[in-house]
A and B are shown apart, each in its own frame.
Chain A
Amino acid sequence: MKINTTARIIYNKQVSNEYWNMKIYLPQIAKQASPGQFLTIQTSKTGSPLLRRPMSIHKLTSTSIEILYKVRGRGTNLLMQVKKGEELQVLGPLGHGFDTDIPFTTAILTGGGYGIAPLKALHDLLKKKKKNIITIVGARTAKLIYKEGFTGVRVSTEDGTAGIKGLLTKALEKACCSNLKGPAAIFACGPDKMLQAVAGVAAKYGLPCQVSLEKMMGCGIGVCLSCACRLEKGGLARVCVDGPVFDAKEIKWNN
């Protein structure tokens, strides 16, 4: 059940060059949430900006949810200023998360930019499920890499200042070619272009692949139809309720 609630901030701190991390006391939402789902957060009480901001669930405990966010525009600038003990309007858990019941023993988590945000909650769940984990973290340059808490990390930077030089799919291909323990599955989140490339690699190696998409969202609950996404089988899905996580094969990429 989706819940619209007022929630207290446990902490809100800068954790890297680019990212902020906010922990929110959300017992009712946390109880039902799963990795890959998201929240929408009201960043202003005065209606400016007007719309809520969608944020992935980054970490999950039984009573709290953490988000990891990049400060971009007005909404995230306001979010950054929220202090411990203050309250925010939060809606969640929204959307469909990752399906971890498919058969695999090795998970290749692939995150570009703040796309790593939802992969941490997934990582923690897969650890509990005793899966082998490879985490590929990609960014433009070394100082933008954030990999706190991940295991089996392989870094990829476009300028080669850390890890494998080039696009993240190069590191992904390397991982796919390596000696993987048992059947593998890819879980990816990042910009559309990256996800499309990841889906290509997955198809090449015949690996199941789930991608978490991002679209502008007006409502987050399936009514405004601003987040439509074309499907391979024809028709449109709503990223906010039918996703944000989809099987990569379902998505019609060139639209």
Chain B
Amino acid sequence: MEQLKVKIGKLILENPVLTASGTFGTGEEFEDFLDLDKLGAVVVKGITLKPRDGNPLPRIAETPSGMLNAIGLQNPGVDIFIKEKCPVFLKYKVPFIVNISGYEEKEYGLLAKKLETVAGVAGIEVNVSCPNVNYRHGMIFAKDPLAVSRITRLVRKNTKKTVIIKLSPEVSDIKVIARAAEEAGADALSLINTISGLAVDVETRRPKIASIIGGLSGPAVKPIGLRCVWQVYNTVKIPIIGMGGICTYEDALEYLIAGAAAVAVGTGNFLDPQSTVKIVDGLKKYFILNKIKNVAQLTGSLRLFNN
């Protein structure tokens, strides 16, 4: 459907529904449930320069309307990823966006460089905000506008592909961080990543996940995601991919109206593996019923009270 097409950086997406990194594998895992080409884009699990075993178990815990995770970026490392996973991307029409994480700023540049020549990789989503890893300087990059700016420049310098910077809501002013990424050359912004939290087992008095603190996702974080999207929409000109708690097409619409150009489904994929395509169908119906001509007509169309 033509009305649903959106442009993110250099990419024209068939519709504004993406998958959130770390909740969709590399897409193959969902082949029994849906046609990947029906999605706007597939954002694959986060990768790092070196292979990583991830954190000890338990790695997840359920919380009211959400879940905590501290997977710890378990992944085979970029080289194996390129050799084993990327060739599969060529089977599909849907663009694949690779999510990258680093422990030092220079790793982001190296990752972008390695992916630059890989056919089938349409874009790079830069995770500067994963709360589950111990960064060398004890702080996640996403909290520091200067670090975000340097990392964005570094990735930009090493790739012509679409660059998306993924932000954390856990900052004193997300507008400042968003502006830093935009000024440094980001094509788009993804928000939000998970929010750090804790859950306790009262029988054992242990934290419910082994690494104590994990990232909260799911419906519980939706209002925070929406708030961030609204604030950033009013600050930058580049498109925003909104995420956090999207399970239904109504959730997706909320994000679009708050200022997102596209949305991503994360935890929703665990609750219903077909939720992404159901959301696409829901949007189609809504667009027809309400005679909406394009996504831009909805993006940021929040009607304010004027009293």
Interface: A228 (CB within 8 A): yes
Q: Looking at the complex, which one of B69, B71, B218, B273 makes contact with A91 (CB distance below 8 Å)?
A: B273
Please, which residues of chain A bring their CB within 8 A of the CB of B66?
Answer: 50
* Smallest CB separation, A166 vs chain B (Å): 26
Residue contact A216 to B58, C-beta cutoff 8 Å: yes
Knowing A50-B67, A223-B23, the reply to whether A4 touches B273 (Cβ < 8 A) is yes
Knowing A216-B59, A218-B60, A236-B53, the reply to whether A224 touches B74 (Cβ < 8 A) is no
Knowing A2-B33, A219-B270, the reply to whether A225 touches B71 (Cβ < 8 A) is yes
Q: Looking at the complex, which one of A48, A225, A241 makes contact with B65 (CB distance below 8 Å)?
A: A48
Please, which residues of chain A bring their CB within 8 A of the CB of B69?
Answer: 218, 224, 226
Docked complex Cα distance between A52 and B275 (Å):
14
Docked complex Cα distance between A95 and B33 (Å):
16
Q: Looking at the complex, which one of A215, A223, A226 makes contact with B29 (CB distance below 8 Å)?
A: A223
The majority secondary structure among interface residues of chain A is: loop
Within 8 A of B (CB), among A208-222: 215-216, 218-222
Please, which residues of chain B bring their CB within 8 A of the CB of A215?
Answer: 57-58
Docked complex Cα distance between A224 and B74 (Å):
10
Interface: B32 (CB within 8 A): yes
Within 8 A of A (CB), among B1-46: 22-25, 29-30, 32-33, 45
Residue contact B32 to A1, C-beta cutoff 8 Å: yes
Within 8 A of B (CB), among A189-233: 215-216, 218-228
Interface: B62 (CB within 8 A): yes
Q: Looking at the complex, which one of A2, A52, A236 makes contact with B74 (CB distance below 8 Å)?
A: A236
Number of interface residues of B (CB under 8 A): 35
Interface: A105 (CB within 8 A): no
Residue contact B25 to A47, C-beta cutoff 8 Å: no
Residue contact B271 to A47, C-beta cutoff 8 Å: yes
Please, which residues of chain A bring their CB within 8 A of the CB of B60?
Answer: 216, 218, 224, 226
* Smallest CB separation, A222 vs chain B (Å): 5
Within 8 A of B (CB), among A46-67: 47-52
Interface: B269 (CB within 8 A): yes
Interface: B54 (CB within 8 A): yes
Interface: B138 (CB within 8 A): no
Within 8 A of A (CB), among B166-201: none
Number of interface residues of A (CB under 8 A): 29
Docked complex Cα distance between A223 and B60 (Å):
13
Residue contact A50 to B271, C-beta cutoff 8 Å: yes
Please, which residues of chain A bring their CB within 8 A of the CB of B109?
Answer: none
Interface: A21 (CB within 8 A): no
Residue contact A51 to B62, C-beta cutoff 8 Å: yes
Interface: B159 (CB within 8 A): no
Interface: B272 (CB within 8 A): yes
Q: Looking at the complex, which one of B53, B218, B269, B272 makes contact with A223 (CB distance below 8 Å)?
A: B269
Interface: A135 (CB within 8 A): no
Max chain A CB contacts within 10 Å: which of B33, B57, B65, B272? B57
Docked complex Cα distance between A216 and B57 (Å):
9
Please, which residues of chain A bring their CB within 8 A of the CB of B58?
Answer: 215-216, 226
Interface: A132 (CB within 8 A): no
* Smallest CB separation, B123 vs chain A (Å): 20
Max chain B CB contacts within 10 Å: which of A42, A219, A236? A219
Docked complex Cα distance between A67 and B66 (Å):
26
Within 8 A of A (CB), among B267-289: 267, 269-274
Q: Looking at the complex, which one of A4, A50, A221, A236 makes contact with B62 (CB distance below 8 Å)?
A: A50
Docked complex Cα distance between A228 and B57 (Å):
8
* Smallest CB separation, A136 vs chain B (Å): 27
Knowing A50-B271, A228-B54, the reply to whether A223 touches B25 (Cβ < 8 A) is yes
Residues of chain B whose beta carbon lies under 8 Å from any beta carbon of chain A: 22-25, 29-30, 32-33, 45, 53-54, 56-62, 64-67, 69, 71, 74, 218-219, 247, 267, 269-274
Residues of chain A whose beta carbon lies under 8 Å from any beta carbon of chain B: 1-4, 42, 47-52, 89, 91, 215-216, 218-228, 236, 241, 255
14 contacts between A and B (CB under 8 A): A47-B65, A49-B62, A50-B65, A51-B271, A52-B270, A216-B57, A216-B58, A218-B67, A219-B23, A221-B30, A223-B29, A225-B45, A225-B59, A236-B54
By Cβ-Cβ distance, the 10 closest A-B pairs, closest first, are A223-B25, A226-B60, A2-B32, A219-B270, A226-B59, A1-B32, A225-B71, A218-B60, A225-B74, A222-B29
Q: Given A50-B267, A216-B60, A226-B69, 15 other A-B contacts at CB below 8 A?
A: A1-B32, A4-B33, A4-B274, A42-B271, A48-B64, A50-B65, A91-B273, A216-B57, A218-B60, A218-B69, A218-B270, A221-B30, A221-B273, A223-B45, A228-B54
